Amino acid sequence: MLGEERKLREGAPTLSGRVSARLANPDIRDEFGLEAMDMNMGPQHPAMHGLLRLILELDGETVVRCDPVMGYLHRCQEKIAENRMYPQIVPLTDRLDYLAGMMNEHGYCLAVEDLLDVEIPPRAEYLRVLVSELMRLASHIPSVGFLMLELGAFTPILYAFREREQIQSYFEAICGARMMFHYIRIGGVKADVPEGLLEEIYEYVDGLGARFQADLVELVVGNEIYISRTKGVGMMTPEQAVEIGVTGPPLRGTGVGFDSRRDYPYSVYPELDFDVITDDAGDVAASFRVRIKEVFESIKIIKQVIEKMPEGAVLGDTGRRLRPKEGDGFGRVESPRGEFAVHVVSDGSDSPYRVHYRDPSFANMMLLQEVIPGHYLPDIMPIMGMIDPVSGGWDK
Amino acid sequence: MGQVVEFLNVLNQEPWRFIIGAFAVLNLVLGSSAVLVMAERKVAGYFQLRFGPNRVGPRGLLQPLADVIKLLTKENTAPGRADMWIFLAAPIAMLLPVAVVWMVIPFAPETVVANINVAILFFVAITSVGALGVIMAGYGSRSNFSLLGALRGAAQMISYEVPLILSLLGVVMLTGSLSLVDVVNAQGGGFWNWYLLPQLPMFITFYIAGLAETKRVPFDLPEGESEIVGGYMIEYSGMTWALIQAAEFAGMALMSAMTTTLFLGGWQPPIAFLDLGQFNWIWFAIKTSVVIFTFQWIRWSIPRLRMDQLMDLGWKVLTPLTIVWLVVTAGAMLVF
């Protein structure tokens, strides 16, 4: 499936060709007494998401080497999960990615449901997709604003947050929380949505596209400086991206059309009509073009979901005490940052023997060492924006 | 009454005229930077669909006062290994040149502290000292981020001096004088006489170079808060930081005033019958405010460039453009 869409872009710069030629050449280096300057970027640096530390070796402003140091958040999510009962783990998954918490809940529930014989009511499946796509909007729209913030423009982020706040108020109406949700449960969702809310959401997303286009896309994408700062920055080949294990918009930005929603269908996605967006350029600008188009796809999906929403129960019967059979379960969802996958191993008791999260933030961060060397120091910001990481994810 | 007039006459003579003028201008510079901070925050608020400061005083008008009190009472910290003399002298080295140049700017007819015949040269010479302050701050802080900021700042300021000075030459050629009073007088009679139209490319160059000289967005690389976290001013706090900020805001006001003086007719009214006599400083203030507003408009709308792109723009676009337009101006003066 990947094979036919994987293609090598000709003339993409190689790693060795991009690092500083001055420092690499011993003659020049010795003659002028050049040496690299070591600089720590983070963990307190304002543009380093969460607690990321980059150890940089600089030649002037050119980055020769970049070593990301992670682990300052120190969460032990997977270990904690081994000591809790299955339903108690669901709210913990929100903490992995606070911009797309319900996606993580969904991934974990899919993995546990893989172990169980439980029938999920159709309305619950539709509600899961509804909140997932709203989550994608609430993550993709601010990420465009965050990129501009990191490039030095403050205003777009406030326009983006206006939309995110509105979407969060829908989450608040649905599940009572604005950030740490605990809405999706093993076997369905917690409760039905309040009356009239679906119509309200429909009306909102109906106007969102035009507003997003006018307030953010035109302000950002048409901007000369934005183009010059993102075009050709963070270039990678489809091969490189697949090798590193990149997923999500950065991968689709290189032309590889991999999307779990289509390629490993789950929930009611096969019944919905949407496109997997790809872009061939393979740079920061491409990944953001993908994100922007995905916003419109999500709007399309939400409208379909609300139109097709069946009536009925929202939570299947999982019994009073959850004890899956021995074996292992696997669930994967397409979160805004890429593929989030969960592997649960059960020993037949009421808490899992082992839980492993495959978090897109962590996998995509592996790009940094490969892509940053050879770029200027200010290029680190758009590259970080391309990955759009969340620290809870890489320090799981 | 007669004694009062006599006293005023004495005050209007050198050196008293100069001393009082200098005092007034210094106050104007510091006061304007306080007001500009307020204006900046308000403009940002309106651009971002929020209120901005609105708690201290009526409509937040006392906010600058509150800011000053806060900054005065904050502790001045310095890195342990900093070169203290250089570290502390840097803010002064940044503020002083900006303040001094205000001396030669004509606010209204006859209202100029020092009407010297080389005012434009004076402006060019004194403002270039600002780069020294940036280097001092960055080097004195002994921090890699500061050093990067200072080197970026110096490279940028020195590079953009070239198109800035070249863009002044067109005005100098048309006026035939280096005195700013002569420049403003030559633009009298209506807005069609302003140098804005015949020197449009020079005006654009001067404006862009002015943005770069004052380190405003999109040329705020020396500060670059998302990359080098504040650059040359990263280690400053309290009043030393406030002085650097004051220098930046005063610099912005100065560049706007110079733009007004050189290309927008200074204190000259747009149409002759709107002449307010000695009160023509109102025209000067309006025009300067409009230019300052455009500076702020740009700041809250667009992101910043990268160092190599900044250099490209300065050396490969603006400098050739000014040289071409100098030749065009000279040719036009020969023909007409």
B303·A162 Cβ contact <8 A:
no
Q: Among partner residues B145, B218, B227, which is closest to A381 by beta-carbon distance?
A: B227
- Read off the pLDDT of residues A170-199 as tens digits, 9 standing for 90 and up: 999 998 888 888 889 888 888 888 989 999
Question: Residue A41, SS3?
Answer: strand
Beta bridge partner(s), residue A69: A53
- Helix segments in A213-317, DSSP class H: 218-221, 224-230, 238-244, 249-252, 260-263, 284-308
- Helix segments in chain A, DSSP class H: 2-5, 15-18, 21-24, 26-32, 77-82, 86-94, 101-115, 122-150, 155-175, 197-212, 218-221, 224-230, 238-244, 249-252, 260-263, 284-308, 360-365, 367-371, 380-387, 391-394
Looking at the complex, report in whole angstroms how far the Cα of residue A376 sits from the nearest Cα belonging to chain B: 8
Looking at the complex, report in whole angstroms how far the Cα of residue B49 sits from the nearest Cα belonging to chain A: 8
Q: Among partner residues B49, B227, B300, which is closest to A378 by beta-carbon distance?
A: B227
Q: What is the pLDDT of residue A4?
A: 39
Q: What is the pLDDT of residue B227?
A: 80
A208: closest CA among A280, A300, A283? A300
Among the ranges given (A282-291, B16-25, B125-134, B181-190), the one the predictor scored with the smallest mean pLDDT: B16-25
In b/e form, how buried is each residue of A77-110, taking b as 16+ CB within 10 angstroms?
beeebeebebbebbbbbbbbbbbbbbbbbbbbbb
* Max Cα distance, chain A (Å): 78
A46·B224 Cβ contact <8 A:
no
Q: How far apart are CA B218 and CA B215, in angstroms?
A: 8
Residues of B in contact with A229 (CB under 8 A): 303, 305-306, 309
Q: How far apart are CA B200 and CA B329, in angstroms?
A: 11
B49·A381 Cβ contact <8 A:
no
Contact call for residues A354 and A264 (beta carbons, < 8 A): no
Positive or negative, the CA dihedral A182, A187, A192, A198 is positive
Q: How far apart are CA B334 and CA A211, in angstroms?
A: 55
Q: Among partner residues B48, B225, B303, which is closest to A225 by beta-carbon distance?
A: B303
Most A-contacting residue of B211, B215, B227 (CB-CB within 10 A), to test interface: B227
Share of chain B above pLDDT 70, in %: 100
Residues of A in contact with B220 (CB under 8 A): 152
Q: What is the pLDDT of residue A293?
A: 92
- Read off the pLDDT of residues A357-396 as tens digits, 9 standing for 90 and up: 998 988 888 888 888 888 888 888 889 888 888 888 887 7
- Read off the pLDDT of residues B157-216 as tens digits, 9 standing for 90 and up: 889 999 999 998 999 998 888 999 888 888 888 888 888 888 899 999 999 999 988 888
Q: Among partner residues B47, B224, B229, which is closest to A378 by beta-carbon distance?
A: B224
- Read off the pLDDT of residues A229-269 as tens digits, 9 standing for 90 and up: 888 888 888 888 898 889 999 999 998 888 888 888 888 99
Q: Which of residues 305-334 of B touch A (CB under 8 A)?
A: 305-309
Residues of B in contact with A39 (CB under 8 A): 144-145
Q: Among partner residues A38, A151, A376, which is closest to B304 by beta-carbon distance?
A: A151
Residues of B in contact with A154 (CB under 8 A): 44, 48, 300
A292: closest CA among A158, A130, A140, A138? A140
Residue type, B58: P
Looking at the complex, report in whole angstroms how far the Cα of residue B307 sits from the nearest Cα belonging to chain A: 8
- Helix segments in chain B, DSSP class H: 2-11, 16-47, 63-73, 84-101, 119-127, 130-141, 144-175, 180-186, 200-213, 238-263, 281-299, 307-311, 319-335
Residues of B in contact with A161 (CB under 8 A): none
A292: closest CA among A179, A392, A165, A145? A145
Looking at the complex, report in whole angstroms how far the Cα of residue B227 sits from the nearest Cα belonging to chain A: 6
A141 dihedral zone (left: phi>0; alpha: psi -120 to 50; beta): alpha
* Max Cα distance, chain B (Å): 65
Residues of B in contact with A223 (CB under 8 A): 302-303
- What are A92-96's contacts with CB under 8 Å, separation 24+? A93/A342, A93/A357, A94/A179, A94/A180, A94/A181, A94/A182, A95/A180, A95/A392, A96/A357, A96/A359, A96/A390, A96/A392, A96/A393, A96/A396
Q: What is the pLDDT of residue B21?
A: 81
A228·B221 Cβ contact <8 A:
no
Q: Among partner residues B144, B304, B307, which is closest to A152 by beta-carbon distance?
A: B304
Q: What is the pLDDT of residue A20?
A: 63
Residues of A in contact with B303 (CB under 8 A): 148, 151-153, 223, 225-226, 229
Is the per-residue pLDDT at B289 higher than 60?
yes
Question: Residue A56, SS3?
Answer: strand
A148·B303 Cβ contact <8 A:
yes
Q: Among partner residues B47, B225, B302, which is closest to A46 by beta-carbon distance?
A: B225
Give me chain A's average pLDDT, please: 85
A16: pLDDT confidence band, cut at 50, 70 and 90?
A: very low
Q: How far apart are CA B237 and CA B72, in angstroms?
A: 10
Positive or negative, the CA dihedral A288, A291, A296, A297 is positive
Q: Which two tokens stand for residue B326?
A: 């100098």
A225·B300 Cβ contact <8 A:
no
Q: How far apart are CA B299 and CA A309, in angstroms?
A: 46
B3: pLDDT confidence band, cut at 50, 70 and 90?
A: confident
Positive or negative, the CA dihedral A150, A155, A160, A161 is positive
A19: pLDDT confidence band, cut at 50, 70 and 90?
A: low
Residues of A in contact with B317 (CB under 8 A): none
Among the ranges given (A216-225, A326-335, B6-15, B249-258), the one the predictor scored with the smallest mean pLDDT: B6-15
Q: Which of residues 126-145 of B touch A (CB under 8 A)?
A: 144-145
Is B49 near chain A, with CB under 8 Å?
yes
A377·B221 Cβ contact <8 A:
no
State how beta strands A53-59 and A37-41 pair: antiparallel
A1: pLDDT confidence band, cut at 50, 70 and 90?
A: very low
Looking at the complex, report in whole angstroms how far the Cα of residue A155 sits from the nearest Cα belonging to chain B: 6
Q: What is the pLDDT of residue B108?
A: 84
Contacting B with CB below 8 Å, chain A residues are 37-39, 45-47, 61, 148-155, 158-159, 162, 219, 223, 225-226, 228-229, 376-381
Is the per-residue pLDDT at A14 higher than 50?
no
Is the per-residue pLDDT at B279 higher than 90?
no
Contact call for residues A2 and A242 (beta carbons, < 8 A): yes
Structural Rg of chain B based on CA atoms: 21
Please tell me the pTM assigned to this model. Answer: 0.84
- What are B118-124's contacts with CB under 8 Å, separation 24+? B118/B178, B118/B179, B119/B178, B119/B179, B119/B180, B119/B181, B120/B168, B120/B171, B120/B172, B120/B178, B120/B179, B120/B180, B120/B183, B121/B178, B123/B180, B123/B258, B124/B161, B124/B164, B124/B165, B124/B168
Q: What is the pLDDT of residue B336?
A: 81
Residues of B in contact with A228 (CB under 8 A): 305-306, 309
Q: What is the pLDDT of residue A8?
A: 38
Q: How far apart are CA A8 and CA A14, in angstroms?
A: 12
The answer to ipTM > 0.90 is no
Most A-contacting residue of B147, B219, B302, B317 (CB-CB within 10 A), to test interface: B302
Q: How far apart are CA A49 and CA A147, in angstroms?
A: 12
B226·A229 Cβ contact <8 A:
no
